[in-house]
Structure 1
């Protein structure tokens, strides 16, 4: 799944005894170390209140595209919400969401 500034992957682990896990990929294409770390911090803050939406055993990975560093916080938040909704639909369609 993809939006203007982010790409997301979500799947349900066969071992659902662990809590939901979220990973972030921010490559050097996004910018130097300061820019990459700022982008990761922003994404962490956006996902933190939404962790409850992820079920046990779900794995959610957000990849920042190169122009994500220039995006407004509100725009990134909207895109994360949309990607989470798409991910849940995809998991339900596959029959893997509890």
Structure 2
């Protein structure tokens, strides 16, 4: 589970990221990123969208847990460089292929999509 300060919870936050954020997709996920300038240290929050297209409730919850773990791992390990002096909001939308992928393949898709979305957002 992500700590509370790293979770997107309000529908308005999800809508803002989806409408105004930069988007990049892969075969299994679509990542939207919204950067907001701030005077504090870089902060990040993440939310997940997993629709019924992905599968039944058990599969959807498993997919969210896997994605949540991967996002926390990517950011804490430093594999993703978050822009300085910006608040980063991420929304990860799982596609139908996400549950079938192996751990490394899902991680590669998520990393690729997030890097490309961050690159678009910074420009």
Compute the TM-score of the two structures, normalised by the length of structure 2: 0.67
Question: What is the CA distance between 1:14 and its match in structure 2?
Answer: 5.0
Paired residues, number: 93
**Alpha-carbon displacement from aligned partner over 1:18-46 (angstroms, at most 9, x marks no partner):** 82111110011111110000000110111
Question: Which runs of 5 or more structure 2 residues have no equivalent in the other structure?
Answer: 1-23
Check conservation: 1:5, 1:66, Cα contact below 8 A: yes
Match of 1:21 among 29, 45, 50: 45
- If asked which structure has higher relative contact order (CA below 8 Å, sep 6+), I would say 1
Give the secondary-structure state (helix, strand or coil) at the position aligned to 2:52. coil
Structure 1 runs (4+) deviating above 3 angstroms are 14-18, 52-56
Check conservation: 1:16, 1:58, Cα contact below 8 A: no
Question: Which runs of 5 or more structure 1 residues have no equivalent in the other structure?
Answer: 94-98
Matched, 1:2 2:25: yes
